[in-house]
Structure 1
Amino acid sequence: RRTSVDELPQLLNVLRGDMSLVGPRPPLPDEAARYDERELRRLAVRPGLTGLWQVSGRSDLTWQETVRLDLWYVDNWSLAMDLGLLARTVRAVADGRGAY
């Protein structure tokens, strides 16, 4: 889990077009059913393997911090940001902090 190798099967979802490389984490259906109006905005973009949450603390973040980062991503998306997040993800995974 610490090296995020368990995420590799998700690449099949990316290839199928169900997920993106970068975006908010995909919620479980029962989680999404409990979202309030603000949290529902996370679903405005395709879910991703990595995102601001991963390079900003991963499991060390509170739910509210994760939502805030995801909404910032939704509102400010750019290709340059995605490329930067992919590069930062490599460092975050290698470092292993926040992965439990």
Structure 2
Amino acid sequence: MIYKKYIKKLLDMILAFIGIVVLSPVFIVLIICIKLDSKGPVLFRQRRIGIGKSEFYILKFRTMKIDTPKDTPTHLLQDPASYITRVGKFMRKTSLDELPQIINILKGEMSIIGPRPCLWNQYDLIDERDKYGANDVSPGLTGWAQINGRDELPIKIKAKLDGEYVRKISFWMDTKCFCKTIVSVIKSDGVVEGEKGT
């Protein structure tokens, strides 16, 4: 399929480059706010699963305190809200913490649309995605599962939706996901505060 093999990746690079340029003022403001709010680095690196179950480090703006246990989904932490910084709470609710993943897209590790990359130790989700071929495409900044439940979805449903996306990959499917993501972010659909594990 020409779109899946060539056009999608080209569009990812073009849109990611435009995103970096246009959103640079937002990056600067968020960097300043993070540094003023709490101790620690601005960016958070976390080991994730990419295409073909290869591993890479996803980038996010840090939303949690530096003593937060690593490689643990937020919803599995005891009293997760206590680890989230004040600025982090706002960024997680608005998904602004995900913006540095534009760099992952430019590096070819991610796509704009695709299954959200899971943690390296989320073996149940990885195995479930294998059933649908969802580990065989580049993970995305947003995806079909993200706009159909996000944090509220159980693993089996999430993997099934990821598989549905894989079967239907096309320019129109990606456009639909992109537009619905904007609406979901504005409405904060599916975000369970203190339990965001992606």
User: TM (normalized to structure 1)?
Assistant: 0.90
Q: How many residues align?
A: 99
Residue identity in the other structure for 1:22: I
Q: Taking structure 1 as reference, are residues 87 and 46 closer, same or farther at Cα in structure 2, changes over 3 Å only?
A: same
Give the drift of 1:33. Answer: 7.9
The amino acid that maps onto 2:166 is: V
Q: Cα distance 1:17–1:32, how it changes in 2: closer, same or farther (>3 A)? A: farther
Q: 2:129 aligns with which of 39, 46, 50?
A: 39
Q: TM-score, normalised by structure 2?
A: 0.47
Percent identity between the aligned chains?
A: 39
Q: What is the rounded CA distance, in whole Å, between the counterparts of 2:123 and 2:137 in structure 1?
A: 14
Give CA-to-partner distance per residue, 1:38-87, whole Å, 9 cap, x none. 52221110000101111111111111110110001111111110011101
Q: Tell me the secondary structure at the aligned position of residue 21 of structure 1.
A: strand
**Pairing partner for 1:50 from 131, 136, 142:** 142
User: What residue ranges of structure 2 are gaps of 5+ in the alignment?
Assistant: 1-91, 194-198
Work out whether 1:64 is the aligned partner of 2:162: no
Considering Cα pairs closer than 8 Å and 6+ residues apart, tell me whether 1 or 2 has the greater RCO. 1
Which one has the bigger strand percentage?
2
Q: For the aligned residues, what is the CA RMSD?
A: 1.6
Aligned match of 1:17 in 108, 118, 125?
Answer: 108
Structure showing greater Rg: 2
**SS state of the match for residue 189, structure 2?**
coil
Q: Which runs of 5+ in 1 are unaligned?
A: none
Give the whole-Å Cα distance in 2 for the aligned partners of 1:91 and 1:17. 26
Structure 1's consecutive aligned runs of 4 or more residues displaced over 6 angstroms after TM superposition are none
Q: 1:3 to 1:75 in 2, by over 3 A?
A: same
Residue 120 (structure 2) aligns with: 29
Partner of 1:93: 185
**In 1, are the aligned partners of 2:126 and 2:135 still within 8 Å (CA)?**
no
